[in-house]
């Protein structure tokens, strides 16, 4: 079986057994998987499709990161991290719950994962732990999440007096990004 498919809901009805029947149109040949899966209990998730962020959106974000880092001082990585934490998307598990973890305060979280925000320190059995929220890496963001991140980076850049593209250019970019 291949990974997730893109498709479209076509029809819904209620069977004689009072269970809902959903007809889905998919974008690839599903015959082989169908034969393997028919008459089996399945885990099914249906959610709105979101395009992955485009390479040009990622490139533009990194241009902004570089310009902001130059003005603020500091590395591109530190600037990217602060922007992702401020404007990025929280990571969610398959059930839609926010992902987080805790580490002993003695552990440098940057050695574990870069895009986290500490929201609490707790004591358990006499040891202190920092509790973190996890943010998505930019390569895992969809087009909507990436657009929000870029909008935040543009806002920061403009506050620092950094020239960014015009609103018209940005609108064209976003239109192009959503098509990729």
Structural domain boundaries of the chain?
1-49, 55-179
Residues 92 and 99: beta-carbon distance below 8 Å: yes
- State the pLDDT at residue 134: 98
Cβ–Cβ < 8 Å for 68, 162:
yes
pLDDT computed for residue 73 by the predictor: 93
pLDDT confidence of residue 122: 96
pLDDT of residue 3: 64
Q: What is the model's pLDDT at position 163?
A: 85
Whole-number pLDDT of residue 80: 97
Closest residue by Cα to residue 138 from 148, 129, 146, 130: 146
H helix intervals, the chain:
31-37, 55-72, 76-87, 143-159, 167-179
pLDDT value at position 5? 78
- How much helix, strand and coil, in percent to the nearest 5, is found in the chain? 40, 25, 35
Cα–Cα distances in angstroms (integers) from residue 47 to residues 50, 92, 96, in the given order? 9, 14, 12
pLDDT digits (tens, 9 = 90+) for 86-120: 999 999 998 889 999 999 999 999 999 999 999 99
Distance CA 173, CA 180 (A): 11
> Directed axis angle between helix 76-87 and helix 143-159, to 10°?
120
Residues of the chain with pLDDT under 70: 1-3, 49-54, 166-167, 170-171, 173-180
């Amino acid at each position: 079986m291949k990974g997730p498919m893109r498709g479209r809901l076509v029809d819904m009805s209620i069977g004689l057994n009072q269970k809902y029947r959903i007809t889905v149109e998919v974008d690839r040949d599903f015959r082989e998987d169908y034969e393997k899966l028919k008459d089996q209990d399945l885990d099914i998730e249906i959610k709105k499709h979101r395009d992955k962020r485009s390479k040009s959106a990622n490139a533009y974000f990194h241009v902004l990161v570089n310009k902001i880092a130059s003005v603020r001082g500091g590395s591109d990585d530190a600037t990217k991290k602060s922007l992702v934490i401020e404007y990025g998307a929280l990571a969610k598990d398959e059930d839609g719950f926010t992902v987080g973890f805790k580490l002993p305060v003695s552990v440098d979280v940057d050695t574990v994962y870069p895009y986290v925000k500490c929201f609490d320190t707790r004591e358990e059995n006499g040891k202190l732990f920092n509790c973190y929220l996890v943010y998505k890496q930019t390569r895992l963001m969809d087009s909507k999440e990436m657009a929000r991140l870029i909008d935040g980076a543009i806002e920061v850049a403009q506050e620092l007096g950094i020239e960014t593209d015009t609103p018209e250019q940005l609108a064209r970019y976003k239109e192009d990004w959503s098509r990729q």
